Amino acid sequence: MTIVFVHGVPVTSAVWTPLIEQLPDSRRRDAVTLSPPGFGATLPAGFGATFVEYRDWLIGELIQLQGRSQSPMDLVGHDFGGGYVLEVAMSRPDLVRSWVSDTIGGYEPDFTWHEIAKVWQTPGEGERHLEATFAGDVAERTARMIEWGIPASAAEEVAAGQGPQMARAILALYRSVPEGTLVERGHNLPAAAARPGLVPVAIDDLTAGSVALRHRAAERAGAQTVDLDGLGHWWMLQDPNRSAAMLTGFWDRL
């Protein structure tokens, strides 16, 4: 059974490496990481980097993988990657056996974007912020990512993939989902219950909405929840052992 991991912003697939290394051998051999265009993969000409385009990109990748494996996949997403995963679960459940998303709170009526997201959504301010964030060499960006809470074990590899192309993708992506857009899309959230779902609720994640909001969204999607006390936005890096055990337990129960 293929396991597909999809990351978000402003990182690369390096965020999954420590977790994947902690999976049992049989699961680790089945793991595939997909890098959204601009985030560790080339941003193709004509690709607008909007939320819907990323959803369609993921659907296309899954169709190709399914053609090779001849079976549905277990899909895991973090940050915006978790949003793409939910969109697949709602619109193309035939492609997945199960789904995992930590950003389901964005689909709730009282969700509001975190402060950095609001900056990126603002013309001029967003450009200046990302120019400063991605400035300097890899060592300088690595130090900046560590300040953002990314453990040093992954920060350098993440920093190596950052630059003007990723900045363009971030700005286009965030500006394609102004306040209320995901809430509107969330009317279809119950459709995600067509496949078993899991929502990791990192208690210290300040970007994904309140704990209560995330639990409420998971209930609407018919998904299980696991509270991750002491972990924040980068839960898969902060405690890869615990994160791998959580995922393995979920898959074993299917």
pLDDT in tens, 96-112: 999 999 999 999 999 99
Contact 16, 138 (CB under 8 A): no
* pTM value surpassing 0.75: yes
Contact 108, 186 (CB under 8 A): yes
Whether pLDDT at 231 is above 80: yes
Whether 196 is in a domain gets the answer: yes
- CATH number, position 204: 3.40.50.1820
Structural domain count, the chain: 1
Where b means 16+ CB within 10 Å and e means fewer, 8-46 reads: bbbbbbbbbbbbbebbeeebeebbebbbbbbbbbebeee
pLDDT bucket at 72, cuts 50 / 70 / 90: confident
Whether 122 is in a domain gets the answer: no
Share of the chain above pLDDT 70, in %: 100
Whether pLDDT at 197 is above 90: yes
Cα separation values, 225 from 24, 30, 124, 132, 218, Å: 22, 24, 38, 37, 7
Q: For the chain, state the CA radius of gyration.
A: 17
pLDDT of amino acid 32:
97
Whether 119 is in a domain gets the answer: no
Average pLDDT of the segment spanning 23-29: 94
Whether 162 is in a domain gets the answer: no
Average pLDDT of the segment spanning 190-206: 98
CA-based nearest residue to 51, from 133, 93, 113, 3: 113
Whether 95 is in a domain gets the answer: yes
Average pLDDT of the segment spanning 23-34: 95
pLDDT bucket at 153, cuts 50 / 70 / 90: confident
pLDDT bucket at 69, cuts 50 / 70 / 90: confident
pLDDT bucket at 165, cuts 50 / 70 / 90: very high
The mean predicted confidence, pLDDT, of the chain is 96
Q: H or E stretch including 236?
A: helix 235-238
Whether pLDDT at 189 is above 80: yes
Q: H or E stretch including 4?
A: strand 3-6
Whether 90 is in a domain gets the answer: yes
Cα separation values, 52 from 27, 56, 63, 185, 229, Å: 30, 6, 17, 11, 32
Domain extent at residue 211: 3-109+181-253
pLDDT bucket at 1, cuts 50 / 70 / 90: confident
Average pLDDT of the segment spanning 223-240: 98
pLDDT tens-digit profile of 172-185? 999 999 988 999 99
